[in-house]
């Protein structure tokens, strides 16, 4: 089954093959994901706790059908994730850890222009945990984990094994055959990163 994705203004569009994607959904509350949203001046893409609802994708199952020339990439540090967004409306479109890792984290919200929340829940399953809740804003949400639970880490390992074994780890829309990003990533300077910190959740000691 395929579902469509779209940036907020509709200029960037794609399709996702949803096979093997049920049961891996989680909300990330880390300060890096919050910083990325604020770098884009898109704090509205975060939930009330500062979280991003992420659905893992197998790289070859994520195909852009139009507007890819509008995509840009940023990294919060030299070793940070490759965070891709549509420069037309600053919509986050996917995070990749490395070209060799068979995983792309896609915000669930980019499905919701074309599909109902109920359909997204049915296809991908419910949120299984809210990780990195030590950076959560406000009252702790349900399913909160201080970092990432062992159970969920094992699920991610399973996901990447399935991705590799089924041949879905390659090709990837974000890296070429040599493992280089298809567009150069802007790497934030320390000053740029520090300017974003006041906008993000700070480490808390009640979890």
- Give the pLDDT of residue 100: 87
- Give the pLDDT of residue 117: 95
Confidence of residue 65 (pLDDT cuts 50, 70, 90): very high
Confidence of residue 99 (pLDDT cuts 50, 70, 90): confident
Rounded CA-CA distance 180/194 in Å is 27
Q: Tell which residue, 40, 74, 66, 64, has the closest CA to residue 183.
A: 74
Does position 164 have pLDDT exceeding 90, yes or no? no
CB 203 within 8 A of CB 135: yes
Q: Which residue has the tokens 């898109």?
A: 42
Q: Tell which residue, 174, 195, 172, 192, has the closest CA to residue 183.
A: 174
CATH of 2-199, one of 2.170.150.70, 3.90.25.10, 2.120.10.30, 3.30.1060.10: 2.170.150.70
Which value, to the nearest 10 degrees, does the dihedral of the CA atoms of residues 15, 31, 196, 56 take? Answer: -10
Q: What is the mean pLDDT of residues 32-44?
A: 98
Tens digits of per-residue pLDDT, 117-130?
999 999 999 999 99
Rounded CA-CA distance 80/2 in Å is 30
């Amino acid at each position: 089954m395929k579902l469509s994705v779209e940036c907020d203004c509709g200029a960037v569009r794609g399709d996702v093959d949803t096979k093997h994607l049920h049961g891996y959904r989680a909300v990330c509350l880390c300060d890096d994901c919050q910083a990325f949203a604020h770098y884009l001046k898109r704090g509205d893409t975060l939930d009330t706790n500062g979280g991003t609802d992420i659905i893992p994708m197998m790289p070859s199952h994520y195909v852009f059908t139009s507007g890819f020339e509008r995509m840009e990439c940023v990294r919060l540090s030299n070793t940070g994730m490759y965070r891709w967004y549509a420069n037309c409306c600053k919509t986050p479109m996917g995070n990749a850890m490395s070209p060799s890792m068979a995983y792309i984290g896609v915000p669930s919200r980019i499905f919701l222009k074309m599909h109902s929340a109920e359909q997204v829940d049915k296809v991908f399953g419910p949120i299984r945990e809210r990780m990195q809740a030590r950076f959560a804003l406000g009252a702790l949400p349900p399913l909160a984990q201080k970092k990432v639970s062992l159970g969920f880490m094992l699920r991610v390992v399973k996901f990447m094994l399935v991705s590799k074994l089924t041949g879905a780890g390659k090709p990837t829309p974000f890296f070429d055959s040599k493992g280089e990003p298809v567009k150069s990533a802007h790497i934030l300077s320390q000053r740029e990163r520090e300017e974003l910190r006041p906008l993000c959740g700070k480490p808390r000691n009640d979890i």
